[in-house]
Amino acid sequence: MSKRNVVVVGAGIGGLSAAHWLTRRGYDVEVLEAADRPGGRMQLLERRGDLVDVGAQFFHSSYESALGLIDELGLAGNRRTISAGTQFARPDGSKFVLRHDWDFPCLLGPGGSASLMAFGLRYLVFGKRFPMSQIVRSIPAYDDVSVADIVSRSHPRHLDYVVRPVCFYFGDPSEDRSFNMAVDQTARVPDMAPSGKAIVSAWAAYPRTEELIARADDRLIETALEDMEKLIPGFSGWVEDVALVRHGWGNAVYPPGQYQGVIDFRRKAEALEGISFVGSPYGGVHMEAAILAAKRAVTRVNQGQ
């Protein structure tokens, strides 16, 4: 049987993964890309020797397909483990170097430890779980709950020593702000910023995103700086440089209530012949979702769909 030609539209990680697997299977693949570089939302910027990911900041150990792809491409040697102890600064100015899991209770104290345990227990006992990188069901009860709602009930030490070091700052969900979350990108991978400076990205809050995207760069930056100052007091005084990166073709997160829409779309899309969707929006928001969608598309092509 002669193999068909395949056209892949878009050289994001989804399109590139699909193109890679299809080529390996002997298909004649052409990739069309509208931008002047491949990678889509995965983009690495450099500023005086510091590196910053502006579209793909966390690569989770649960990304089985992505890790498999890395191995398959012979890039496993580039993976590295961050093995050094983590240094925490206490409010009184003293330092605490955390080297083992059992150092945690010391750092958190009784209140913080109880809060962390209660958080884990609530998740295990009452949480309606779903895979992190795949939208498989809609849980309307979760639509009106933000992560900030959940963590705002935590003990301050739980917030200071668990939530923020994982690099998140959350605003008060009841306050109407355009940017209500900040990610300190270098907190977990300090060697990306040899200068020792923090690289913080401001995350826009739905539903303000749609209105924000139409704003001019300088107005957007002004709003982001104002909101970050409320989230991290003193912030505006530390800022040396600001970069604005627009990802005009996709959202990093879904608005509440959209999961059912994604599931319905995917069902309809899989009834189409000769066309498959490979981007992350058809399965979730992460890189892993894009790669899983690519796997599904490759299977469909192989089955002649």
Ligand X SMILES: Cc1cc2nc3c(=O)[nH]c(=O)nc-3n(C[C@H](O)[C@H](O)[C@H](O)COP(=O)(O)OP(=O)(O)OC[C@H]3O[C@@H](n4cnc5c(N)ncnc54)[C@H](O)[C@@H]3O)c2cc1C
In the complex, what is the shortest distance from the CB of residue 139 to ligand X, in angstroms, rounded to a whole number? 21
- Is 29 among the residues that bind ligand X (CB under 6 A)? no
Based on the shown chain and the rule CB under 6 A, indicate whether residue 283 belongs to the binding site for ligand X. Answer: no
Q: Which is nearer to ligand X, 186 or 280 (CB)?
A: 280
Residues 97-126 that bind ligand X (CB under 6 A): none
The two structure tokens encoding residue 110: 């009784």
CB of 205 closer than 8 Å to CB of 179: yes
Draw the binding track, 202-231, toward ligand X (x: CB under 6 A; -: no contact). ------------------------------
10 near ligand X, judged by CB under 6 A: yes
Compute how many residues bind ligand X; rule: CB under 6 A.
28
Q: What whole-number distance in Å separates Cα of residue 23 and Cα of residue 164?
A: 43
User: Is there binding between residue 189 and ligand X (CB under 6 A)?
Assistant: no
Q: Does 279 bind ligand X (CB under 6 A)?
A: yes
Q: How far does the chain reach from its first CA to its final CA, in angstroms?
A: 15
Residue 287 interacts with ligand X (CB under 6 A): yes or no = yes
Residue 190: asked if its preceding bond is cis (omega within 30°), the reply is no
Query: What is the C-alpha to C-alpha distance for residues 201 and 232, in angstroms, rounded to an integer?
Result: 12
Between residues 115 and 280, which has the closer beta carbon with respect to ligand X? 280
- Of residues 62 and 87, the one with the C-beta less far from ligand X: 62
Q: Does 167 bind ligand X (CB under 6 A)?
A: no
- With binding defined as CB under 6 A, does residue 247 bind ligand X? yes
Q: Which is nearer to ligand X, 7 or 89 (CB)?
A: 7
Complex with ligand X: residue 10 or 112, whichever CB lies closer: 10
Q: Which of 47, 50, 51, 56 binds ligand X (CB under 6 A)?
A: 56
* Interface region with ligand X, contact rule CB under 6 A, candidates 53-61, 117-125, 164-172, 209-217: 53-61
Residues within the interface to ligand X (CB under 6 A)? 9-15, 32-35, 40-42, 55-58, 247, 249-250, 252, 279-280, 285-287, 290
